[in-house]
Amino acid sequence: MSIDTERAQQEKVEPPPGPVSLVRAELPRWAPYGILVASLVVVGVLLAVTGGFSIGLFVFLSAVLFGLATYLVSRVVEGARKATDRLVTIVVTVAFLIALIPLISVVITVVTNGLARFDAAFFTQSMRGVGGANDLAGGGYHAIMGTLIITALAAVMSIPVGVLTAVYLVEYGSKSRLARAVTFFVDVMTGIPSIVAGLFSFALFALFFGPSIRLGFAGSVALSVLMIPVVVRSTEEMLKIVPNELREAAYALGTPKWRTILKVVIPTSIAGIASGITLAIARVIGETAPLLIAVGITTGLNLNPFANRMATLPVFAYYSYAAPGVPREPFIDRAWTSALVLIIIVLVLNLVARLVARVFAPKTR
Amino acid sequence: MQQPGDRIFAASARGAGILILVVLAGVAAFLVIQAIPALVANPADLPGGKNIAVYVAPFVFGTVVSSAIALIIATPLAIAVALFITHYAPRRLAQGLGYLIDLLAAVPSIVFGLWGLAVLAPAMLGLSTWLNTYLGWIPLFAGPVSVTGRTMLVVGVTLAVMILPIITAVSREVFLQTPKLHEEAALALGATRWEMIRMSVLPFGRSGIISGAMLGLGRALGETMAVAIILSGSSIITFNLISSGNSSSIAANIALNFPDSTGVAVNTLIASGLVLFVITLLVNSLARYIINRRREFSGAN
């Protein structure tokens, strides 16, 4: 045993051959790119030879080979820790690219399929009397109007309630029990599934008008349930970041609290509030399930949300796709065009929200 | 001293807060009222002819399975994406990339449904066949492979795409809150970037990741249209993810059957909606609890 230890000690103290280097070897900067190109070429040639070439397989195998090759080369030259670091970098980057695939794919699919009927007729005609030989015409005019009316009504109900609640939470409630209860239940409301909101609205109206009630306004109520918590949350965040000095300055000038809120606090944060409200509208305008339950669908134009069924874009898209007439194709085309219009509306609302937040932000100079 | 204007304004603000509580109480109350006829009805009158629990069970199963698949796929991906945006992407691009992922959250669910059926389902046929051929001994992939691609697996992947931006957004926020000094200390001790992330960012952000995943789970549980469009589900319980027989989800079952239902069938659907409401309520409350607990103790705010 003692001999063993001695030998080990002797081996340990033995100086390494040559001068001691304090710097680990490092791969040159071009190495990752070189390995990437090499893996692409190798996989491409292999697939071409075996004959089973497909884009998905090519990209997948190249990524795997790239990761493995980088890890091995780096491990040999730079050591295990650096190699793991490089491997993780590749994995994280690939994960991000994977996450982009659905977004790009959705946009491409909807645009290519939706452009076929993205014409004047779609925006000027309803589905009344469309069928049989008439089938190629027909559009989503009634659905677009329905979506706009129902969403506008929902916004009219949600915005005052949401903003006032946020004002209460930030300016009046502070730590009271009511404020804590409201905060908790707003969080709970954020998680209500949209279809449950639709069922609630239906149950409410069915209690008064009987179980066959379908009403544009019922849809607005359902959307409000979904929209109010979003408005409260975003407005609350915005009011919270208004500096207290502004409020105190107003109080010092003898301004009553409600005028301070209306003239100082809200104007300071109006950009953020408006942006949050726009995002909330964008969130509910694409909701399908609650409208399917509470509003139903109709073929003609109905501009009165307080009587009878209304058509809305998402529900119109759903029924055109899920229960098409004969022949099928015009219905499917209209479904895709509805989806395209819906995506455009949502994207525009998102852009507007960002622009509002940027343009009307309080000047810091 | 209070002016009348002050009193009116304070009262209306407080009234709005109370209104929210009333609305939420209304949601629960009206759902219960409308669900009661289904609970007390003669079981023979219900759809399926059994009692309400037997009716709802397969849909609860379908809801849980589809959400579980979505969560298993989306969580690691979302963590990686959040890490990429916060710690790997060039600083100048990072915010723009964040917007790009947020856009994914803005796409309406009906569009994801159409996309899932038209693009994803055929695209996943190859993978399903491969899984069946090589992993067919696992009951999940027992097959036979559905030729239409309208399977639980496709639904799970679609849901994963839909909840990815939620989990990413929450994780991104907490990753950004990691104390800079922790990160710099790790780097100064010679840690590589990954070692720094493993030692300072991930432990700090763990509860954020968990709560983000729970919020995503809540969304997946309640997701309606994507499931309703893609899946041709029925009231069976099966673990087979890639064949043509699938358990439907609660929300999808309501959406598919509600427009044509009358009488006690409507009440039955509302009762199942109540079950969904309770499940999502539990999941979301748990998520909020985790978030709030962290907020109190971390001192990050």
Regarding whether A344 and A219 lie in a shared domain, the answer is yes
Query: Which of A198, A171, A277 has its CA nearest to residue A233?
Result: A277
pLDDT of residue B301: 36
The predicted structure's pLDDT at residue B56: 87
- Check CB contact under 8 Å for A296 and B284: no
Measure the CA–CA gap between B93 and B260, rounded to whole angstroms. Answer: 50
Contacts of B24 in chain A (CB under 8 A): 185, 188-189
- Here the ipTM equals 0.87
CATH number at residue A155: 1.10.3720.10
Fold classification of B41-298 is MetI-like fold (1.10.3720)
Q: How far is CA A109 from CA A128, B115, B126, B159, B255, in A?
A: 28, 7, 20, 18, 25
Quote the CA–CA distance of B23 and A43 in Å, as a whole number: 59
Is residue B81 scored above 90 in pLDDT? Answer: yes
Amino acid A356: pLDDT: 86
* For residue B68, pLDDT beyond 90: yes
> What part of B 20-49 touches A (C-beta under 8 Å)?
20-21, 23-24, 26-27, 30-31, 33-34
Q: In chain B, pLDDT over 70 holds for what percent of residues?
A: 96
Residue A30's domain spans which residues? 24-115
Q: Does some domain include residue A16?
A: no
Kindly report, residue by residue over B18-59, the tens digit of the pLDDT.
Answer: 999 998 898 889 889 888 888 887 777 777 667 788 888 899
Same domain, A180 and A91: no
Contact flag A92-B83 (C-beta cutoff 8 Å): yes
Query: Has residue A125 been placed in a domain?
Result: no
Q: Identify the segments of chain A with pLDDT beneath 50.
A: 1-2
Does residue A173 share a domain with residue A74? Answer: no
Tell me: do A111 and A157 sit in the same domain.
no
Cβ atoms B182, B92 nearer than 8 A: no
A308–chain B Cβ distance below 8 A for any pair: no
Q: Which of residues 82-141 of A touch B (CB under 8 A)?
A: 82, 84-85, 88-89, 91-93, 95-96, 98-100, 102-103, 105-106, 109-110, 113
Which of the residue ranges A14-18, A59-63, B83-87, B290-294 would you say has the lowest mean pLDDT? A14-18
Chain B positions touching A91 (Cβ under 8 A) are 80
pLDDT tens digits for range B139-162: 788 778 788 888 899 999 999 999
- My answer on whether A97 and A146 are in the same domain is no
Q: Does residue A365 sit within a domain?
A: no
> Is the pLDDT at B296 greater than 60, yes or no?
no
Nearest to A96 among B5, B81, B269 (CB): B81
Whether A77 contacts A26, CB under 8 Å: yes
Residue A236 lies in a domain: yes
Residue B197's closest CA among B88, B78, B72?
A: B88
> What's this model's pTM, rounded to 2 decimal places?
0.87
Give the A window 146-175 contacts with B, CB below 8 Å: 160-162, 164-165, 167-169, 171-173
Q: Do A206 and B229 make contact, defined as CB atoms within 8 angstroms?
A: no
* Residue in A closest to B164 by C-alpha: A99
pLDDT of residue B77: 94
Q: Among A82, A115, A148, give the residue marking a domain's end.
A: A115
**Which of A188, A203, A224, A182 shows the shortest CA–CA distance to B20?**
A182
How far apart (Å, rounded) are the C-alpha atoms in residues A271 and A260?
18
How many other CB atoms sit within 10 Å of the CB of residue B11?
12
- A281 and A248, same domain (yes or no): yes
Q: Which of B31, B36, B52, B35 is nearest to B235 (CA)?
A: B52
CB contact under 8 A, A99 and B192: no
Count structural domains, chain A. 2
